């Protein structure tokens, strides 16, 4: 198989190809970008600054509604303490992630991000918001996506990631997250983020009730967006954790995850990095390096997935021993700065 594959060919591969065939094709696609037995990683912390959210996604075990018991907003001091802890264990990437909290306007975030940039400079990079949060905040501030992106950029933000995308089909969103955003809004926002000179990523979550057609539509939309903008640094896929959620369900197998990573690597011929999820797959995530992934995070905290059943291993050296035992050299990498902001 050579050249770009169609959705029909991707469907055929998923249904008919053996694991060995998937691996072999994905490794061929990976070799276009990366050394065969080399992988990169980051040590990061997801800081969940608030759990108050009005979106009410049925697959989420993290949120509480406004005025419900247990809602919180982290203080600036708490945020700094978490970043200091991250630096102490050798990490330098923070991903801020919270909920759609009606009490926190865009200005709250701009002030928080400016304070983090001022205190830590380039010692820490941060993913400021997911696109889902960005859309919500821009709407509430009555700003266009371009205006909101410019405000955040001026506050020192470099990255707004594609988190919160789950499955990008309108039907999936109506079934599970009807208050979050439409797929059209999602890509409009991401277009504005790229146009503002900020960096962004693509993500995907599998293992709900999505059909194969929906997975393929998500991949097709991602590839189309990258053809149009070239703005996606990476594609990260993780798996749904069903514990404590309204939707419930059962987890998919590691094998299904690895095959999906392979299919994504083969299909997304225009995205350099395909990332595997240690957060949701633990040690099984590293096997995805054989299926085309080239990069991963070692997270030290994420309340959202931990509430839904994810477990986090804090012995980073024992985790890194796993890809090494599979024959990979692993190299720490820092988050890139946007080219336009690099002096
Ligand atoms: S997944 Fe995010 S947007 Fe949806 S309810 Fe949970 S915190 Fe809110």
| Three-state SS annotation for 124-156 | CEEEEEEHHHHHHHHHHCCCCHHHHHHHHHHCC
pLDDT of residue 343: 36
Cα 56 to ligand 1 centre (Å): 6
pLDDT at 306: 84
d(CA 124, CA 44): 10
Instruction: Give the span between the Cα atoms of 310 and 300, in whole angstroms.
Output: 12
Q: How far is the CA of 99 from the centre of ligand 1 (A)?
A: 5
- Which residue owns the Cα nearest ligand 1 atom 4? 57
Encode pLDDT of 138-180 as tens digits: 999 999 999 999 999 999 999 999 988 999 999 999 999 999 9
Closest atom of ligand 1 to 180 CA is 3
Centroid of ligand 1 to alpha carbon of 261 (angstroms)? 24
pLDDT in tens, 263-317: 999 999 999 999 999 999 999 999 999 999 999 999 888 878 888 888 877 789 9
Q: Is the pLDDT of residue 219 over 90?
A: yes
| Closest atom, ligand 1, to C-alpha of 54 | 8
Instruction: Please provide the average confidence, as pLDDT, over all residues in the chain.
Output: 95
Region at 50 (left for phi over 0; alpha for psi -120 to 50; beta for the rest): beta
Does residue 63 line the site of ligand 1, with CB under 6 A? yes
- Nearest partner of 143 among 196, 83, 65, 101, judged by Cα: 196
Whether the CB of 163 sits within 6 Å of ligand 1: no
Predicted pLDDT of residue 342: 44
């Amino acid at each position: 198989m050579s050249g770009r594959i169609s959705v029909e060919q991707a469907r055929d591969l998923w249904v008919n190809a053996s694991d060995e065939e998937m691996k072999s094709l994905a490794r061929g696609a990976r070799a276009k970008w990366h050394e065969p037995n080399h992988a990169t990683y980051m040590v990061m912390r997801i800081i969940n600054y608030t759990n108050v959210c009005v979106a009410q996604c049925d697959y989420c075990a993290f949120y509480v509604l406004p005025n419900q018991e247990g809602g919180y907003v982290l203080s600036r001091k708490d945020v700094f303490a978490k970043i200091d802890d991250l630096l102490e264990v050798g990490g330098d990437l923070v991903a801020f992630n919270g909920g759609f909290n009606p009490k926190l306007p865009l200005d709250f975030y701009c002030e928080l991000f400016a304070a983090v940039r001022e205190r830590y400079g380039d010692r820490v990079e941060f993913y400021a918001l997911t696109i889902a949060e960005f859309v919500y905040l821009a709407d509430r501030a009555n700003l266009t996506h371009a205006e909101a992106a410019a405000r955040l950029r001026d506050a020192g933000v470099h990255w707004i990631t594609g988190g919160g995308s789950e499955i990008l089909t309108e039907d999936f969103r109506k079934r599970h997250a009807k208050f979050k955003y439409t797929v059209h809004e999602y890509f409009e926002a991401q277009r504005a983020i790229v146009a503002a000179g900020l960096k962004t990523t693509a993500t995907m979550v599998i293992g709900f009730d999505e059909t194969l057609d929906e997975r393929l539509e998500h991949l097709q939309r991602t590839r189309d967006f990258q053809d149009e903008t070239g703005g996606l640094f990476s594609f990260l896929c993780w798996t749904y954790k069903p514990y404590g959620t309204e939707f419930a369900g059962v987890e998919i197998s590691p094998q299904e995850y690895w095959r999906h990573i392979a299919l994504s690597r083969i299909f997304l011929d225009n995205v350099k990095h395909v990332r595997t999820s240690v957060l949701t797959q633990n040690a099984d995530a590293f096997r995805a390096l054989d299926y085309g992934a080239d990069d991963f995070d070692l997270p030290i905290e994420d309340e959202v997935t931990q509430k839904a059943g994810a477990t986090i291993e804090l012995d980073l050296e024992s985790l890194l021993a796993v890809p090494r035992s599979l024959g990979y050299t692993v190299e720490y990498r820092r988050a890139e700065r946007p080219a336009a902001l690099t002096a």
